[in-house]
Amino acid sequence: MPMPAALDRENPSVLVMPGPGLPAFDYVRASKPDEVCDLLLQHGDNARLLMGGTDILVLMRDGVLAPKILIDVKHLPGMTTISFDPAGGLRLGAAVSMNTMTAHPAVKQHYPLLAEAAQAVASYQLRTRATMGGNLCNASPAADTAPAALVLNARCVTWGPDGERIIPVGAFFRGPKQNVLMPGEFLAFIDVPIPPPGWVGRYIKLGRNAGGDLAIVGVAVLGYPDANAASGCRFRIALASVAPTPIRVPEAEAILANMPITGETLERAAPAAQAAARPIDDLRGSARYRKAMTRNLTRRALDDVWAGLRKEG
């Protein structure tokens, strides 16, 4: 459901004076996936999922959303479980909290980029509740974990009336605050494959302060040695907060795959990322600033990753 622009905190045009608490609704603790699908089908937009609640409760409190039912899916089997298989990769229950994810040994060892991205979100106490699943489902252009998910080629595993569906994260976002989930369908797991050997990742976030602000620009870069690439390396680059959805930047990635990696090549890739950015003006920053910062931050992330690759290599 699109947000009414008038009530968007980032782009307010009218005064919002919400009541003292949350609007009334019914809380349902779901124990079976089918129950969730049924409730979603039955109630449509009047039903919403509750995982960490850190986004939806704010929207409800602000009066932007007023669902009649909140379906708590944290108690469904596997929703708060993390499993790792050295061959298949990581499976995160959609309702795993960001702090749980960040502290998990497999994430620390094999997916430090996910931890780095999650730690850029808000505050520690908020991350006790906030989930990567929720971060992706909200489909905010500014979602901090989205660029990391994009460069890690993560997949969304959904459950719906027709059973399971696997959607690459790159195809999961439809527009600002819109995802591709169908009626009755919900996100159950996030699968993150084993990244290529020798990879190095980095997430850089620019806010208006040194901590906690939403991203003005977020850049994730993942690089790895690849003998098939002309340059000997491949880079994956993803951006947050500079387009209607988090995006990959294939144009910049192509430059880096096809030309020997030098300072000059890195310098050429950054403007390609800038060119791909289609930001808007909002309270946090103008489109012009965002575009310029896309270039600068992409360059910094590339520098860091390239330095890491050379160290590894």
Partner 1 sequence: MAAHQITFTINGGQETALVTSHTTLLSLIREQLGLTGTKNGCATGECGACTVLLNGEPVNACMVLAVEVDGAEIVTVEGLAQDGQLDVLQQMFVEHTGTQCGFCTPGVLIMARALLDRNPNPSDDEIKDALRGNLCRCTGYVRIIEAVKAAAKAGG
Partner 2 sequence: MKEKAFVIGQSVRRLDAVGKVIGEALYPGDIDMEDQLWMKIRMSDRVHARVTAIDTRQAEAYPGVVAVLTATDVPVNEYGLIMPDQPVLCGPGSSKAGADIVRCISDQVALVIAESEETAAVAADLIEITYEDLPAVVDVMQAIADGAPQLHAHAKNNVLNHYRIRHGDINAGWEQAEVIVEGEYHTGYQEHVYLQPEAGLGYIDDEKRVTVVVAGQHAHEDREQVAHALGLPEEQVRIVYPAIGGAFGGREDMSIQIALALAAWKLQRPVKVVWSREESIIGHHKRHPFTIRARWGATREGKLVAAEAEVYADAGAYAYTSTKVTGNAHLMVNGPYEIPNVKVDTYGVYTNNIPCGAFRGFGGPQGAFAAEGQMNKLADALGMDPVQIRALNVLEEGSITSVGTPLPPGVTLSKVLAEGAAQSDYWHKTGAGWARISPTEQPTTPAKRRGIGMAMGFKNIGFSFGAPEENWATVEIHGDAKIERVVVREAGADVGQGAHTVFAQMVADGVGVPLDKVEVIGHDTAETDNSGSSSASRMTFMAGNAIKTAAEQALEKWRSEQRPAVATYRYVPPKTTPYDPETGRANPNFAYGYMAQFVEVEVDIETGHIDVVRVVSAHDVGRAINPQQIEGQIEGAVVQALGYAIMENLVVKDGRIQNPFLSTYLIPTIWDIPRETKSVILEYADPRGPWGARGMAEMPFIPLAPAIVAALHDATGIWFDHIPLTPESVVSRLREHNIGVI
Positions that interact with partner 2 (CB under 8 A): 9-10, 12, 15-21, 206, 208-214, 216, 283-286, 289, 292-293, 296-297, 300
Pairing of strands 47-50, 247-248: unpaired
Site track for partner 1 across 178-197, x = CB under 8 A: --------------------
Site track for partner 1 across 197-236, x = CB under 8 A: --------------xx------------------------
26 binds partner 1 (CB under 8 A): yes
State the residue for tokens 């980029």. 113
CA atoms of 95 and 80, how far apart (whole Å): 5
Q: Which is nearer to partner 2, 93 or 207 (CB)?
A: 207
- Shortest Å, Cβ 239 to partner 1: 24
Q: Is the Cβ–Cβ distance between 74 and 64 less than 8 Å? A: no
Q: Which does 12 bind (CB under 5 to 8 A by kind): partner 1, partner 2, none?
A: partner 2
What is the separation, in whole angstroms, between the first and last Cα of the chain? 47
CA atoms of 274 and 298, how far apart (whole Å): 8
58 binds partner 1 (CB under 8 A): yes
Per the DSSP assignment, residues forming a β-bridge with 50 are 72
- Shortest Å, Cβ 73 to partner 2: 26
Q: Which is nearer to partner 1, 57 or 106 (CB)?
A: 57
- Shortest Å, Cβ 119 to partner 1: 8
- Shortest Å, Cβ 3 to partner 2: 15
Range list of H helices, the chain = 33-43, 56-61, 98-103, 105-110, 112-119, 124-127, 132-138, 145-151, 250-258, 263-276, 287-312
DSSP string for residues in 176-234: TTEE-PPTT-EEEEEEEPPPPTT-EEEEEEE-SSSSSPPPSEEEEEEEEE-TTSTTSEE
- Shortest Å, Cβ 60 to partner 1: 8
CA atoms of 254 and 256, how far apart (whole Å): 5
CA atoms of 34 and 30, how far apart (whole Å): 9
Q: Which is nearer to partner 1, 23 or 77 (CB)?
A: 23
Q: Which does 124 bind (CB under 5 to 8 A by kind): partner 1, partner 2, none?
A: partner 1
166, burial (CB in 10 Å: exposed 0-12, middle 13-18, buried 19+): exposed
Q: Which residues contact 305 (CB under 8 A, 6 or more apart)?
A: 200, 201, 202, 221, 222, 223, 235
Q: Which is nearer to partner 2, 15 or 227 (CB)?
A: 15
Q: Which does 139 bind (CB under 5 to 8 A by kind): partner 1, partner 2, none?
A: none
Q: Which does 168 bind (CB under 5 to 8 A by kind): partner 2, partner 1, none?
A: none
99 binds partner 1 (CB under 8 A): yes
Q: Which residues bind partner 1 (CB under 8 A)?
A: 20-27, 29, 50, 52-54, 57-58, 61-62, 70, 72, 99, 119, 122-126, 128-129, 211-212
